[in-house]
Chains A and B, each alone.
Chain A
Amino acid sequence: AQSVSQHNHHVILSEAASLELGCNYSYGGTVNLFWYVQYPGQHLQLLLKYFSGDPLVKGIKGFEAEFIKSKFSFNLRKPSVQWSDTAEYFCAVNALNTGNQFYFGTGTSLTVIP
């Protein structure tokens, strides 16, 4: 079945640690890829997106993600996390051969300890 997988369900890091959250998808064809963040009590916000071109994309707040087509992956990274990065992170795939629908992973809860 087609799916979006986020293997890290809950991550706990100390401030200044590096972060990498995994995202794999199983849709064929052309895809657009997104990472959304949901801070406590707030609605989903876009962190970054990949449509085409350079597979390394940079987003807001120092986040970046790398699209590796051969691995069907779009992992999120940040070199040094801050307490304010504590949030839920969702990977999403816009599979263009499925009627332009968006499919979300189950999310990764990140807790950053000061």
Chain B
Amino acid sequence: DAGVTQSPTHLIKTRGQQVTLRCSPISGHKSVSWYQQVLGQGPQFIFQYYEKEERGRGNFPDRFSARQFPNYSSELNVNALLLGDSALYLCASKWEGLGNEQFFGPGTRLTVL
């Protein structure tokens, strides 16, 4: 079975631009979460979606938004990029149920110049 896939692998943008990152969960997983991992830090929770509905939102500005599609894939959008948005963006999926483990994708490395 394929794991969680993310695209693109790497991305370079300039300040003020907008970016869309994509994630396909493991087949059968209906829950998708997004994380931001800045170099030297642990992943920080951004969003969780389940059955196309937002289940949770971390402490990120409104420039960050996401959505989940009927096939359970997801997109993360970031508007008005700042230098500080440079990070590895991780997507994780899980079969919904209390405490079920998350499976992480390889991430998208975003560099904002």
Residues of A in contact with B (beta carbons under 8 Å apart): 4, 6, 32, 34, 36, 42-46, 49, 51, 90, 92, 94, 96, 98-107
Q: Is the CB of B101 within 8 A of A103?
A: no
Residues of A within 8 A of B107 (CB): 43
Enumerate 19 A-B pairs (CB-CB under 8 Å) in ascending A order: A4-B42, A43-B90, A43-B104, A43-B105, A44-B90, A46-B101, A46-B102, A90-B42, A92-B42, A96-B99, A100-B56, A101-B33, A102-B45, A102-B102, A103-B45, A104-B42, A104-B43, A105-B42, A107-B42
Counted as pairs of residues, one from A and one from B, with CB atoms less than 8 Å apart, the total is: 60
Cβ–Cβ contact B99 & A94, under 8 A: yes
B56 near A49: Cβ-Cβ < 8 Å: no
Contact B48 A90 (CB under 8 A): no
- 17 additional contacts (CB under 8 A) given A6-B42, A99-B55: A32-B98, A34-B101, A43-B90, A44-B43, A46-B103, A51-B99, A92-B42, A94-B99, A100-B48, A102-B92, A102-B102, A103-B45, A104-B42, A104-B45, A105-B42, A106-B41, A107-B42
- A residues within 8 A CB of B102? 46, 102
Question: Separation in Å of the B53 CB from the closest CB of chain A?
Answer: 12
Binding site for A on B (CB under 8 A): 33, 35, 40-45, 48, 55-56, 58, 90, 92, 98-99, 101-107
Identity of the chain B residue whose Cβ is nearest the Cβ of A41 in the assembled complex: B106
Which residues of chain B are within 8 angstroms of A99 by Cβ–Cβ distance?
48, 55-56
In the complex, the answer to whether A101 meets B41 with C-beta atoms within 8 Å is: no
* Chain A residues closer than 8 Å to B105, beta-carbon distance: 43
* 5 closest residue pairs by CB, A with B: A104-B42, A32-B99, A44-B104, A99-B56, A43-B106
Min CB–CB distance B44 → chain A (angstroms) = 7
Cα A60 to Cα B48 with chains together (Å): 27
* Residues of chain B with a CB closer than 8 A to A4's CB: 42
**Residue of B41, B42, B90, B101 most packed against chain A (CB within 10 A):** B42
Q: How far is the CA of A51 from the CA of B99 in the complex (A)?
A: 7
Q: Do the beta carbons of B98 and A100 come within 8 Å of each other?
A: yes
Q: Please give, as numbers and ranges, the residues of chain B lying within 8 Å of A92 by CB-CB distance.
A: 42
